[in-house]
Structure 1
């Protein structure tokens, strides 16, 4: 079988349109493992929260995902699902490829503070992942490398911590996990939601001073689970610690 596997509306495709061609587009990046998509209920809930995707379409996508992943039970897969409209009609596609990682990723990532800031909204932030990602793309250009060992740290316009370019942020300090308040901007990641149902995580306004005080720093997303943060370039450094390891073990024991 040749990867990547490409599908448009459930049919095999030779190529997919560019992100910018899909109107009102939403993105879900998922992990497929042992013949299933373990976090699909959380991905589905986030798509529903957008108010743009109806239940019948999600039922169709869910059935198709199950059929695809069941046929590849021995693979660890990265799935990129896009939902929106194309030429005025409802549209969805899927890209499936094996998960790969650079050597040393399990030992942690280095963060780089981005000058690009995220705008705050006063309405409730649904935390969905939009395909219109011009600010994220601009921030990505600030990194010294695009490999997974480097990630961009994003602040909002008021200087509060939000997230990284690929992950949600977790700070361990004073015997407690903290994560940035996403009421006004940022992506509410499904791995973050899954962890918060099992481990107390306080969502609150955080700044760079809180990052500097943290005893352990980790990032999480739906494909990579939990990774330690080793440093904020030019500033702080941390060692992967027992509390981060406990989160990683929780994912391994209960999810995949």
Structure 2
């Protein structure tokens, strides 16, 4: 059952006494989305992601790890599996961009929501979209609340014959998929896009790279026009795990099967 929790309390009404949340006004915050299977899957990675984003965005007085875990446990009580989203914003404030002088002294506001786990995808087709990602090294890798590019990509995808997208930056270099990170294989070598200037460094991506399940994966800058002769590919995120790619721009992948070592992270 869907639910929303604000600062550790079940939300029935929202007070505007301190002004609107800056996350709503300016996308001034970040989030992480995880799979719940009687516990938050890969929690250590999600917690490190939240801490890194708080530090890089200079968000003050964020919730503690135990506060988050206690609220997640309460929000998912009685559920065997679910999707859990944790959102942290700079807090509530007035009209202007500046955050200094806020009445609540920059006390972070945090939200936890739950939803049903989406239906399992056995494989997907992916293809090019015209919407591009802006390059901003300051935020590269972070999952900030500013996701308007992804919203427009999903609107574009709805008119196309594939389920996910090959997303590039404004220079035409491959960055990620619409809702996950991309890995591909040529011969015996695995690759994934470099995320130094744009894109989200997803938890599943971090896990795969850190565990070395695919060997020495090369993180590369590759123009979309040079993305060809792919033998195998998959999309990954922390909710679905990993999903093999069947076709790229209408062309069947040579070996559209997920590497056996990644079956352990596939969502049920």
- Change in CA separation of 1:146 and 1:213 when aligned onto 2, cut-off 3 Å: closer
**Which residue is 1:163 aligned to?**
176
- The number of residues matched between the two structures is 242
Counterpart check, 1:128 vs 2:159: no
1:32 to 29, 36, 43: 36
1:65 to 45, 56, 72: 72
Q: CA deviation at 1:46?
A: 1.4
**Which residue is 1:5 aligned to?**
3
Give the unaligned 5+ runs of structure 1.
none
Other structure's SS at 2:222 match: coil
1:41 to 44, 52, 64: 44
Other structure's SS at 2:156 match: coil
TM-score, length basis structure 2: 0.79
Q: CA deviation at 1:215?
A: 0.1
Structure with greater Cα Rg:
2
Q: Distance in 2 between matches of 1:226 and 1:241?
A: 12
Contact 1:230/1:238 (8 A) holds in 2: yes
Other structure's SS at 1:213 match: coil
1:110 to 117, 125, 134: 125
Q: Distance in 2 between matches of 1:67 and 1:41?
A: 19
Superposition RMSD on alpha carbons, in Å? 2.8
Q: CA deviation at 1:203?
A: 1.1
- Change in CA separation of 1:221 and 1:55 when aligned onto 2, cut-off 3 Å: farther
**Which residue is 1:153 aligned to?**
166
Contact 1:109/1:151 (8 A) holds in 2: yes
Contact 2:85/2:112 (8 A) holds in 1: yes
TM-score, length basis structure 1: 0.83
Counterpart check, 1:182 vs 2:195: yes
Other structure's SS at 2:150 match: helix
Contact 2:59/2:108 (8 A) holds in 1: no
Give structure 1 regions of 4+ aligned residues with deviation exceeding 3 angstroms. 14-23, 52-56, 66-69, 123-126, 239-242
Other structure's SS at 2:198 match: coil
Counterpart check, 1:245 vs 2:251: no
Give the unaligned 5+ runs of structure 2.
15-19, 94-106
